[in-house]
């Protein structure tokens, strides 16, 4: 009877999980959340293919091919193909960099698009398959992202679609153009939505076959070990090999991930995963089928030993303090879990193997040219307060995040916006440039971007998952495996106290896989919430998402609008123009038609030059209007290519001059025998001068007495 009952329970579980059975009874708010997430992911991939300023024809073709391959992936081969995409994520970026001469997230577009297409094809678009307690918070996070990203994208282009291709619009003191900022925001949202979708997919797959080993784990540890071999070569022979000048100059190995911190975290995960795959999972099968041949067991042990050596060496050569913290937690949990499963003979051998591994790693480290985390750790002050400040705030990043939280506690500054606006904050605080980086703490970073309302569901989800990791009991037959997986998930969580490792897609997917695996190894034995409770939970999640989107819309038309930020931070901003040019020692911009400017007032005296260069301007005058928040400067027909020179005196204490240019028509040089395909309006120069007499020497002098807030 027990066996019959168990089979009935298992059959019932399979029936409930079968696609098409639950989807008919999904609450409407859950449907909205999952569908919005799917539509957002698909639209973001299309937008990145179309508008990414760094994409090359080869990358576009390769990405489209990856999408087609993902869509055509048969369900029976899904696990194998997903493993291949993960390996591609580990290994393809330096190859693509060498082939395309591109850097940054654009190199992840290929493999992420292929994996995304496969997941969207194979998973339900209306029903989350997560554990019951996780479902509403995760759905709330997905809906928050889905509703917010179009608003944030609109904010960064000034709600003007022309700015999506405007390489002359510098949005902040991060000195990124509007298209670059747009694709960064899309990339951040895509990474988070893809992580949730991957978690959902892995939860469904592992719950359907709870005793199966997830094949994609092999892709993670094998891909990382290959990356670590590259890191060893980089550290001991050539730091520039398959790396970037940025990391090579800092004497830090990156493996094949082009990021030392992300690579270091992956290297911390790989050895315990290899142990589970090769030893922990194989021993029970051997005991059921009879003694495993000694050669096979020794070969597995030797492979695990080499994986440990290579990855620990690679981690050290990365110089990542985050990875060292991650490795410490992961290794501690691994030793605690695995030691109890070792035979007496293994317990005698393991300490000697550890000594041998450390000796080999030591030799590699001593012969390397990298900085190593020990030297970076030595830079931390010895005093407790100084040490905590250095580790948890790292320069100005923590302080900037705290300022953001204070300024926008309810909805934050917008998902993906920390790195963009941090440079503006630092310009106001210290009048200095700031290197592109995160808030050095996951909780602080998310609170700065999402605020209390936007981050509510994410923080609830994190709390629920953390409770699951710490408090739930593991399956008795999988205790060792469960403890190791718990430790790895906890390791990334602890490392997130001093970094935001999950902003890197491959780390995000690895973390989500660990959570899905843990949900099977450490099952939630609580009864599912009742329909009424679930409905209220979904309603709260939906209201939080809508409130966050509404708050971001208000900020996008208020204090966080690009023009307003430019005025506040004294940023020379232009939209509707081409990048600056220099001719005869004069730095000017061509407009592509109508354009808007913010000119920070360095002095009270401004010299403006405006001209048009239409070939037929003598017979067809060009009407030009230059309007500012202090009044009209130009409004008339131009009948020659000679510039109009204006001397402008601003009122006292005027921080910036906002201007709008309108031109009656444009022209293309390519229509007149040139190779220049641009559509040109007028050329404009605006220079603040220290000598007020220079304003009197121009064609016209305009003393401005009063200025409005903006136009």
Report the pLDDT value the prediction gives residue 522, as an integer from 0 to 100.
87
Query: In the beta sheet, which residues pair with residue 660?
Result: 596, 627
Report the pLDDT value the prediction gives residue 548, as an integer from 0 to 100.
98
> How far is residue 576 from each of residues 52, 182, 342, 507, measured CA to CA in Å?
18, 16, 68, 38
Provide the CA 192 distance to its chain's centre, in angstroms: 8
Tell me what the pLDDT averaged over the chain comes to.
Answer: 87
Please list the residue range(s) of the chain that carry CATH number 2.60.120: 572-703
Report the pLDDT value the prediction gives residue 524, as an integer from 0 to 100.
73
Provide the CA 35 distance to its chain's centre, in angstroms: 22
What proportion of the chain, given as a percentage, has pLDDT over 90?
A: 66
pLDDT tens figures, 635-685: 999 999 999 999 999 998 888 899 999 999 999 999 988 999 999 999 999
Select from 561, 568, 572, 570 the least CA-distant residue to 413.
Answer: 561
Report the range out of 117-131, 351-365, 381-395 with the highest average pLDDT.
117-131
pLDDT tens figures, 15-59: 334 444 556 667 899 999 999 999 999 999 999 999 999 999 999
Domain 572-703 classification at class level = mainly beta
pLDDT tens figures, 289-298: 444 454 487 7
Work out the angle at residue 69's Cα, subtended by the Cα atoms of residues 65 and 71, and round it to the nearest 5 degrees. 115
Q: What is the DSSP code (8-state) at residue 170?
A: B
Report the alpha-carbon distance of residue 583 to residue 93 in Å, rounded. 39
CA atoms within 13 A on the CB side of 607: 18
Burial of residue 360 (CB within 10 Å: 0-12, 13-18, 19+) is middle
Task: Give, for 647, the enclosing helix (H) or strand (E).
Answer: strand 644-649
Whether 366 has a pLDDT exceeding 90, the answer reads no
pLDDT tens figures, 168-204: 899 999 999 999 999 999 999 999 999 999 999 999 9
Confidence of residue 338 (pLDDT cuts 50, 70, 90): confident
Task: Give, for 599, the enclosing helix (H) or strand (E).
Answer: strand 586-600
| Averaged pLDDT for residues 695-706 | 87
Answer with the residue of higher pLDDT: 327 or 21: 327
Query: In the beta sheet, which residues pair with residue 658?
Result: 598
Q: 221-235, 237-251, 466-480 — which is least confidently predicted?
A: 466-480
Instruction: Kindly give the interhelix angle for 109-122 and 28-51, rounded to the nearest 10 degrees.
Output: 150
For the whole model, what pTM was predicted? 0.90
Report the alpha-carbon distance of residue 510 to residue 367 in Å, rounded. 31
Report the alpha-carbon distance of residue 429 to residue 395 in Å, rounded. 13
Report the alpha-carbon distance of residue 498 to residue 325 in Å, rounded. 9
For residues 85-124, b (16+ Cβ closer than 10 Å) or e, as one string?
A: bbbbbbbbbbebbeebebebbbbbbbbbbbbbbbbbebbb
| Averaged pLDDT for residues 340-361 | 79
Whether 532 has a pLDDT exceeding 60, the answer reads no
Whether 138 has a pLDDT exceeding 90, the answer reads yes
Whether 386 has a pLDDT exceeding 60, the answer reads no
Report the pLDDT value the prediction gives residue 299, as an integer from 0 to 100.
85
Report the alpha-carbon distance of residue 254 to residue 340 in Å, rounded. 35
pLDDT tens figures, 458-513: 999 999 999 988 888 888 888 889 999 999 999 999 999 988 999 999 999 999 99
What proportion of the chain, given as a percentage, has pLDDT over 70?
A: 89
Whether 422 has a pLDDT exceeding 90, the answer reads yes
Report the pLDDT value the prediction gives residue 666, as an integer from 0 to 100.
95
pLDDT tens figures, 428-467: 999 889 999 999 999 999 999 999 999 999 999 999 999 9
């Amino acid at each position: 009877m027990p066996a019959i009952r168990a089979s009935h329970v298992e059959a019932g579980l399979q029936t409930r999980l079968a696609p098409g059975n639950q989807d008919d009874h999904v609450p409407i708010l859950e449907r909205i959340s999952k569908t919005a997430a799917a539509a957002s992911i698909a639209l973001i991939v299309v937008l990145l293919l179309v508008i990414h300023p760094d994409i090359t024809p080869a990358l576009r073709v390769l990405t489209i091919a990856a999408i087609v391959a993902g869509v055509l992936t048969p369900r029976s081969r899904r696990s194998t193909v997903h493993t291949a995409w993960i390996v591609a994520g580990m290994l393809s970026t330096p190859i693509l960099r060498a082939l395309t001469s591109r850097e940054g997230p654009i190199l992840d577009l290929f493999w992420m698009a292929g994996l995304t297409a496969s997941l969207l094809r194979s998973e339900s678009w209306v029903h989350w398959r997560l554990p019951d307690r996780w479902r509403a918070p995760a759905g709330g996070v997905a809906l928050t992202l889905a509703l917010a990203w179009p608003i944030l994208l609109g904010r960064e282009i000034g709600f003007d679609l022309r700015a999506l291709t405007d390489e002359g619009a510098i949005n902040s003191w991060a000195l990124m153009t509007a298209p670059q900022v747009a694709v960064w925001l899309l990339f951040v949202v895509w990474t988070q939505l893809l992580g949730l979708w991957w978690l959902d997919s892995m939860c469904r797959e592992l719950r359907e076959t709870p005793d199966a080993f997830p094949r994609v784990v092999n892709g993670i540890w094998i891909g990382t070990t290959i990356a670590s071999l590259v890191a060893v070569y980089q550290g001991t022979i050539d730091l520039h090999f398959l790396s970037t000048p940025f990391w090579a100059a800092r004497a830090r190995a990156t493996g094949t991930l082009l990021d030392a911190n992300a690579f270091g975290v992956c290297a911390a995960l790989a050895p315990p995963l290899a142990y589970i795959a090769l030893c922990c999972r194989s021993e029970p099968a051997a005991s059921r089928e009879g003694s495993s041949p000694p050669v096979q067991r020794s070969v597995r042990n030797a492979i695990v030993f080499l994986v440990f050596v290579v990855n620990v060496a690679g981690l050290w050569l990365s110089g990542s303090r985050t990875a060292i913290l991650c490795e410490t937690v992961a290794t501690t949990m691994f030793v605690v879990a695995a030691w109890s499963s070792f035979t007496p003979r293994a317990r005698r051998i393991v300490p000697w193997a550890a000594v041998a591994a450390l000796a080999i790693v030591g030799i590699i480290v001593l012969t390397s040219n990298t900085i190593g985390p020990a030297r970076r750790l030595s830079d931390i002050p010895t005093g407790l307060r100084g040490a905590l400040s250095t580790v948890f705030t790292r320069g100005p990043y923590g302080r900037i995040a705290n300022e953001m939280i204070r300024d926008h506690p309810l909805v934050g500054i917008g998902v993906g916006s920390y790195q963009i606006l941090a440079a503006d904050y630092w310009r106001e605080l210290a009048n200095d440039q700031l290197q592109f980086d995160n808030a050095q703490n996951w909780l602080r970073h998310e609170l700065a971007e999402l605020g209390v309302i936007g981050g509510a569901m994410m923080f609830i989800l994190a709390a629920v998952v953390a409770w699951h990791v710490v408090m739930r009991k593991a399956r008795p037959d999988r205790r060792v495996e469960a403890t190791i997986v718990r430790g790895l998930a906890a390791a990334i969580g602890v490392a997130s106290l001093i970094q935001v490792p999950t902003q890197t897609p491959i780390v995000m997917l690895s973390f989500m896989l660990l959570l899905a695996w843990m949900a099977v190894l450490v099952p939630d034995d609580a009864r599912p919430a009742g329909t009424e409770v679930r409905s209220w939970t979904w309603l709260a999640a939906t209201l939080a998402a809508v409130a966050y989107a509404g708050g971001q819309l208000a900020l996008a038309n208020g204090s966080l609008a690009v023009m307003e930020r430019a005025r506040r931070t004294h940023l020379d901003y232009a939209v509707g123009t081409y990048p600056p040019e220099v001719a005869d020692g004069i730095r000017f911009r061509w407009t592509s038609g109508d354009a808007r400017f913010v000119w920070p007032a360095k002095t009270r005296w401004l010299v403006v030059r405006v001209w048009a260069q239409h070939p037929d301007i003598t017979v067809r005058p060009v009407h030009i209007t230059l309007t500012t928040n202090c009044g009209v400067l130009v409004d008339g027909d131009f009948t020659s290519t000679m510039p109009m020179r204006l001397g402008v005196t601003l009122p006292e204490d005027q921080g910036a001059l906002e201007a709008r240019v309108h031109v009656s028509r444009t022209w293309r040089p390519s229509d007149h025998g040139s190779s220049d395909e641009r559509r040109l309006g007028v050329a404009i120069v605006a220079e603040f001068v220290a000598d007020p007499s220079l304003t009197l020497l121009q064609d016209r002098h305009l003393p401005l007495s009063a200025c409005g807030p903006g136009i």
